[in-house]
Amino acid sequence: MKNLLLATTCLTVTGACKQEKPVLLPNIVIIYADDLGYGDVGAYGATRLKTPNLDKLANGGVRFTNGYATSATSTPSRYALLTGQYPWRNREAKILPGSAPLIIDTAQMTIPKMLKQKGYNTGVVGKWHLGLGSGIVDWNRHISPGPNELGFDYAYIMAATQDRTPTVFVENGLVAGLKKDDPLFVDYEKNFEGEPTGLDSPQLCTMKWHHGHNNSIHNGIPRIGFQKGGKSALWVDEEMADNFLAKAQQYIQENKSKPFFLYYALQQPHVPRTPNQRFVGASGMGPRGDAIVEADWCVGELIKTLEKEGLLENTLIIFSSDNGPVLNDGYYDDAVEKLGDHKPTGPLRGGKYSLLEAGTRVPFMAYWKGKIKPMVSDAVISHIDLLSSLAKLADSETRVPDSQELLDVLMGKSSQGREELILEASSKTALRKGDWVMIPPYKGPAVQTQVNIELGNSKEFQLYNIKEDIGQRENLAKSHPEKLQEMIKTFEAIRGTKSQEVEQLELK
């Protein structure tokens, strides 16, 4: 029988055994986009950008209007998603280079580890960006620890991001396609002799770098970090989405006879935006828009695979993004010039890297055909809550302190979400409580000029009622002193008294 957990009760007095009704364990698929904004999806208000497959999930399930990543950047959000722990509790949970060691302790509980204990097969396909190994990685040998040591039975990943070296895929700890006579070397400190870079050989670049992306060139694209060799293993950027999709589909097909958990981590629309030729021009908004159209297609194809295999009605699909949007994030690719009237942040203020709402409030939807009724939910829920919530779904007693069990909210059966949530951007934190957001005073620029995004830094406290002022235009810190003090007290209780933020609270 498919995906069944048989519950049997034995009566010790009579010796008879009664077989109870089989319990069906659902498959679980988390689809995680990269830098997709609250306003980048049709169901969240986008009109110029078409996302029919994401709209199908959003309109056919629970569409959360207050769904949050924990952080405004990639690595910390992914850390929180898999561990159910606030990333600011781990000082290493920050944007990582491609050569960084694994930042999740192998003894730590994770979603795949918890589900594996309940009989699930577990797989990750796509972007990783949580580090690999325990020191300097030798890319020519088996790399450990990594996803497999955190509970994933199968892993096909890129180590960090598409704009960072190494530009290779790693499958179950081994660089895919690497030949022994052409070893791969990676360095984030200095270049290898004779290797061209975007800085000294701009004529070799088919994509022009704007800031930060001027090291090793591969496929005409200058990256962050240096690499040499491994030619047989290097990816083709324009084929990346198809490659990850094929691996995700294959994983589903090979594990359809038992319950599985798939973490499908899309690379779109993170830079460099390199949609397949089939999607070039599809959005009319340049590579960023085309990459989103491509990502939407990938989601649709994955759903088709589940449907074809007869799994859709027994699969919970959760879709979200690791943080808010950014336009120019290191390359000239017309993201700004061709934006038109599209608003990637929707009605929100800020964006990637920002403590303001658009940094962490993201598209978040849960779909389960025949199980979840279509609805819009204003409940506050975060990626950090998925571990405890999915544990409840899988009949596991596993819980972690930061992760709230909100399965009924996820399933659309309750509107009682989180009351309090710490939001993080570049190691700085803020508090959402009820309908209010408080941002402590921070030093630093108000706007990150390279990406033209407000960071949320201010010399003064910021207090917003985001139910009445979703765009965070009116700072109520001075006019609502009692509410501000209440927020500060809650913030201190959660964050402790030794953080940089709490020290700065003395400015009050």
Residue 52: predicted pLDDT: 98
Q: Per-residue DSSP letters for 4-57?
A: EE--EEE-TTT--EEEPPPEEPPEEEEEEESS--TTSSGGGT-SSS--HHHHHH
Cα separation, 491 vs 65, in Å, equals 23
Lowest-pLDDT range, 13-17, 202-206, 260-264, 376-380? Answer: 13-17
Question: Measuring CA to CA, which residue among 161, 131, 125 is closest to residue 143?
Answer: 131
- Given pLDDT bands bounded at 50, 70 and 90, which one contains residue 508? very low
Mark residue 122 as left, alpha or beta (left: phi above 0; alpha: psi -120 to 50; beta: remaining). Answer: beta
**Res 401 pLDDT > 80:** yes
Residue 501: predicted pLDDT: 60
Tell me the per-residue pLDDT of 52-78, one tens digit each, with 9 for 90 and over. 999 999 999 999 999 999 999 999 999
DSSP state of 164: B
Question: Measuring CA to CA, which residue among 174, 179, 121, 129 is closest to residue 152?
Answer: 121
Cα separation, 60 vs 376, in Å, equals 10
Cα separation, 364 vs 347, in Å, equals 16
Residue 163: predicted pLDDT: 98
3-state secondary structure of 344: coil
Cα separation, 32 vs 44, in Å, equals 17
3-state secondary structure of 431: strand
* Centroid of chain to Cα 426: 16
Are 23-175+254-410 and 420-507 the same fold in CATH?
A: no
Residue 11: predicted pLDDT: 38
Tell me the per-residue pLDDT of 429-477, one tens digit each, with 9 for 90 and over. 999 999 999 999 999 999 999 999 999 999 999 999 999 999 999 999 9
Tell me the per-residue pLDDT of 93-139, one tens digit each, with 9 for 90 and over. 999 999 999 999 999 999 999 999 999 999 999 999 999 999 889 99
- Domain covering 23-175+254-410 assigned CATH 3.90.1150.10 in the classification: no
In the chain, what are the domain boundaries? 23-175+254-410, 420-507
Task: Choose the CATH number for 420-507 among 3.40.1190.20, 3.30.559.10, 3.30.700.30, 3.30.1120.10.
Answer: 3.30.1120.10
Start-to-end CA distance of the chain, whole Å, equals: 63
Torsion angle of C-alpha atoms 451, 453, 455, 461, degrees rounded to 10: 160
Residue 386: predicted pLDDT: 98
Residue given tokens 């819009």 in the structure block: 376
Mean of per-residue pLDDT scores for the chain: 94
Cα separation, 54 vs 478, in Å, equals 41
* Centroid of chain to Cα 44: 18
